[in-house]
């Protein structure tokens, strides 16, 4: 779901569709507040949107330095590993320095590698930089954090089963519990392989699904020639494709690397306004945006954004890749648990909590707190 933010390493199709579909089917999602940001992504300018080239940690591992606008190595002293600290630490360090200096990026300086090392060790990164007018052999590379991986997703048990009988999820769409509050590099590859095999085995063992199937979120009554389906769990209003850029800007500003109660509340208010505008247009004109791939992607991004912000507001602590500037400490006594979210028929979000000991067991039904 990386496209929920203005800058991401994810391709254009990563618009949270799996999570949004599962929500509309009545499934629970969990841990959506835990988004890993890659600290060093090629900065392409203030108007850049969507997927942007990643500059691998391997470049820093070979000795490249992060420097600010004044050429100062700002990660020295912030962590014993400096530029090689965990991703979330480096991303936070970059964002804070950018905020202090009022800049939109920092620099990764590897000019001391020389042309031969760049060409033989990092040819792909070298080519990507040069394609955008930057030559790392002679210039520092402008970089900034970008959304990289979602540790949360559709809540599953250890066989990939969701809370909707017959619906399975694995890979980045799922929240299996193996990542915790952060993601360690390529654990996601193992996760996809392991849970895909378990799902296949479970399907083979269960040719029929026992018990009643929960009703999906009800569809609204038709309101014109192009209402779409239950686009956001109430109202039936689809977003115009260009609305995705508004959602991305809202999320980048209010729910990015550094979050606070104030920034998240503002993001929630602005997202609600985007949703309300679409519903008002539907009621006034009797129609919504023309259904299509880009329309549904924008609509799905808005729904997933609302869930992420609701969970990030509710989790009043800092843990893993969820960082609250107003709550900088980890609070195990209150928050060593998971947040589960479901979508109501009217588009409201029900946020529940469950103890870590109960995870992942989608048969648990914790207490509900409603967030309209």
Q: Domain spans of the chain? A: 2-26+211-371, 38-147, 149-205
Question: Active site includes 327?
Answer: no
CA distance 355 to 339: 9
What whole-number percentage of the chain has pLDDT above 70? Answer: 87
Residue 234's pLDDT is: 42
The pLDDT of residue 367 is above 80: no
Cβ contacts of residue 120 below 8 Å, gap of 6+?
none
CATH number, domain 38-147: 3.90.700.10
Q: Which of 166-180, 202-216, 301-315, 334-348 is predicted with the least confidence, judged by mean pLDDT? A: 202-216
- Residues 102-131 have a mean pLDDT of 96
Catalytic residue, candidates 60, 87, 198, 259: 87
Would the pLDDT of 228 be above 50? Answer: no
The residue-averaged pLDDT of 80-93 equals: 93
Which CATH architecture is the domain 2-26+211-371 placed in? Up-down Bundle (1.20)
Is the pLDDT at 154 greater than 80, yes or no? yes
Higher per-residue pLDDT: 260 or 354: 260
Sorted by sequence, the CB contacts under 8 Å of residue 29 that are 6+ apart come out as: 19, 22, 23, 152, 153, 154, 155, 175, 307, 340, 341, 342
- List beta partners, residue 37: 147
Same CATH fold assignment for domains 2-26+211-371 and 38-147: no
Per the prediction, the chain carries an average pLDDT of 88
Instruction: State residue 361's pLDDT score.
Output: 54
The H-assigned helical ranges of the chain are 17-24, 57-61, 87-101, 114-121, 123-131, 187-205, 243-254, 261-285, 293-314, 332-335
What is the separation, in whole angstroms, between the first and last Cα of the chain?
Answer: 23
pLDDT reported for residue 96? 94
The whole-number pLDDT of residue 125 equals 97
Orientation of helix 293-314 relative to helix 261-285, angle to 10°: 140
pLDDT band at 164 (very low <50, low <70, confident <90, very high): very high
């Amino acid at each position: 779901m990386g496209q929920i933010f203005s800058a991401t390493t994810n391709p254009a199709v990563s618009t949270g569709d799996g999570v949004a579909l599962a929500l509309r089917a009545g499934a629970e999602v969990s841990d959506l507040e835990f988004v890993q940001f890659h600290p060093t992504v090629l900065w392409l300018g203030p108007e850049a949107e969507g997927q942007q080239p990643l500059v691998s940690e391997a470049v820093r591992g070979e000795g490249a330095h992060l420097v600010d606008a004044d050429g100062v190595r700002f990660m020295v002293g912030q962590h014993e590993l400096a530029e090689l600290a965990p991703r979330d630490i480096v991303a936070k360090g970059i964002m804070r320095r950018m905020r202090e200096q009022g800049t939109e990026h920092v620099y990764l300086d590897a000019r001391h590698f020389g042309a031969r090392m760049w060409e033989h060790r990092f040819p792909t990164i070298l080519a990507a930089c040069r394609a955008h007018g930057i030559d790392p052999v002679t210039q520092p590379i402008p970089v900034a954090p970008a959304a990289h991986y979602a540790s949360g997703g559709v809540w599953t048990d250890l066989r990939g089963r969701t809370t909707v009988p017959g619906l399975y999820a694995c890979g980045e769409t799922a929240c299996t519990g193996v990542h915790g509050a952060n993601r360690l590099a390529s654990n996601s590859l193992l996760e996809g392989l392991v849970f895909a095999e378990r799902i296949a085995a479970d399907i083979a063992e269960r040719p029929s699904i026992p018990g009643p199937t929960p009703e999906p979120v009800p569809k609204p009554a038709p309101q014109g020639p192009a209402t779409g389906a239950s686009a956001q769990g109430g109202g039936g209003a689809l977003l115009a494709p260009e609305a995705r850029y508004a959602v991305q800007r809202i999320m980048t500003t209010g729910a990015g690397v550094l979050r606070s109660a104030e920034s998240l509340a503002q993001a929630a208010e602005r997202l609600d306004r985007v949703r309300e505008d679409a519903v008002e247009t539907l009621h006034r004109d009797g129609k919504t945006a023309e259904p299509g791939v880009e329309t549904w992607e924008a609509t799905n991004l808005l729904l997933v954004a609302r869930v992420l912000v609701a969970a990030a507001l509710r989790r009043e602590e800092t843990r893993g890749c969820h960082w609250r500037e107003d709550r900088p400490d980890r609070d195990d006594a209150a928050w060593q648990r998971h947040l589960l979210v479901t979508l109501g028929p009217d588009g409201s979000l029900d946020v529940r909590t469950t103890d870590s000991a109960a995870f992942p067991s989608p048969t648990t039904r914790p207490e509900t707190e409603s967030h309209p």
